[in-house]
Chains A and B, each alone.
Chain A
């Protein structure tokens, strides 16, 4: 024991590990996974830097081909909305269908096919190409969705999420639908512009 002691270079890693776990916990609790959308919408960019609020949002998505999708947050307001839609169109929804609607993200099927669509298993629903919500002068279901959604949740803000390449006539239909229902204030979701 008289020879010079050779110590192994050891480091106390406990504080680092503590921190690592703290961060893991933080990220696990704050992460909110984005719900899967039926279409990819490539949004245009703008210099506007107003942030979209987190809650009470009604999103109308316009895909590249011009199909219109409807989305609203809040599980229970969705349930109330589905009830009102059912009343208006004379449809009865089962508990499972209601549950499916409550947990769904964007939706783009005409009311006529809605019951059938909701009764499908979730995986099959993803695979189906949704035809979009009818929004022409003959059959404007989007207007009913928006009006009844606002009845279900009066605090709702309307957000428009259009694809860059969406043709203007469809956008015009949506804007006119909103205007006809006295919705004059809404948000357009954009990406933040990089240049200038």
Chain B
């Protein structure tokens, strides 16, 4: 393998014993072995990928003197995140027609895209129930990004919503 050799290396054929010239060659094989071992180790141990993040900006705490903006209830899409990866949704606030869907592509994404087209300036209210998981929250925020929903808010679930989903 990798060796530094100065002498020719062939065996002496003559019978005369000459004064031995000790060659200055070092066997580098073990060192190279080690180098490759380390190389393999560090290559496998290195992770180049940095964690991904989602940026989330929550609204500031409303001050007393601030007027809360009023929203036409017809433009409100409510998404209630329930147990076992279920999403309950309805439009408007009075007389809600509640429907169930899930997190699949055919589920909540389709609804978001359809409603986003039908309703101008749609506002989505995300209401995670106590039975939902953190994953559900991240998934739904992700869906907002995928379906280009500009206005959405994470709000606390109301007792009315709890009652609505427990009836289903």
Q: Which residues of A contact B (CB under 8 A)?
A: 13-14, 16-17, 20-21, 23-24, 27-28, 30-31, 33-34, 43-52, 54, 62, 159, 162-169, 171-172, 175, 178-180, 182, 184-193, 196
Interface hits, B71-91 → A, CB 8 Å: 81
Is A62 a contact of B51 with CB atoms below 8 Å?
no
Residues of A within 8 A of B45 (CB): 31, 33
- By a CB distance below 8 angstroms, the chain B residues around A30 are 46
- Secondary structure type dominating chain B contacts: mixed
Contact status B39-A27, CB under 8 Å: yes
Partner among B39, B51, B59, B156 whose Cβ is within 8 Å of the Cβ of A189: B51
Given A17-B32, A166-B133, A182-B61, residue A188 in contact with residue B46 (CB < 8 A): no
* A196-B104 Cα distance, complex, nearest whole Å: 12
Say yes or no: A164-B133 contact (C-beta < 8 A), given A13-B2, A159-B53: yes
Q: B94 at interface (Cβ–Cβ under 8 A)?
A: no
Contact A44 B38 (CB under 8 A): no
A sample of 12 more A-B contacts (CB under 8 A), given A167-B130, A168-B136, is A27-B46, A28-B42, A45-B138, A46-B52, A48-B54, A49-B52, A51-B50, A51-B51, A52-B51, A165-B135, A178-B58, A188-B141
Complex interface: chain B residues within 8 A of A196 (CB): 105
Q: How far is the CA of A49 from the CA of B156 in the complex (A)?
A: 28
> B54 to A17, Cβ gap below 8 A?
no
Contact B53 A187 (CB under 8 A): yes
Residue of B nearest to A18 (CB): B2
- Chain A residues, CB < 8 A from B43: 23, 27
A144 to B138 Cα, complex, angstroms: 26
Asked if B12 is at the interface of the complex by the 8 Å CB criterion, the answer is: no
Between-chain CB contacts (< 8 Å), 5 pairs:
A13-B32, A21-B35, A48-B54, A51-B53, A163-B134
A21 vs B45: C-alpha distance when bound (angstroms): 17
The docked-state distance in angstroms from the alpha carbon of A188 to that of B58 is 12
A40 to chain B, nearest CB (A): 14
Binary A-proximity of B102-142 (CB < 8 A = 1, otherwise 0): 00010000000000000000000000111111111111011
User: B7 CB to closest chain A CB, in angstroms?
Assistant: 15
Q: Smallest distance from the beta carbon of B149 to chain A beta carbons, Å? A: 14
In the assembled complex, B65 has its CB within 8 A of some CB on chain A:
no
Tell me whether A189 and B52 are in contact in the complex, defined as CB-CB below 8 angstroms, given that A13-B1, A184-B58 are known contacts: yes
**What's the nearest-Cβ distance from chain B to residue A69, in Å?**
14
Does B57 belong to the interface (CB within 8 Å)?
A: yes
Q: Complex: how many Å from CA A30 to CA B45?
A: 11
The complex places the Cα of A49 from the Cα of B51 at a distance, in Å, of: 9
Once bound together, how far apart are the Cα atoms of A166 and B135, in whole Å?
Answer: 8
Contact B133 A165 (CB under 8 A): yes
Q: Which of B2, B28, B56, B60 contacts A188 (CB 8 A)?
A: B56
A168 → chain B, closest Cβ, in Å?
Answer: 5
Cα distance, A17 to B39, chains bound together (Å): 11
Tell which of B35, B59, B61, B130 touches A168, judged by Cβ atoms closer than 8 Å. Answer: B130
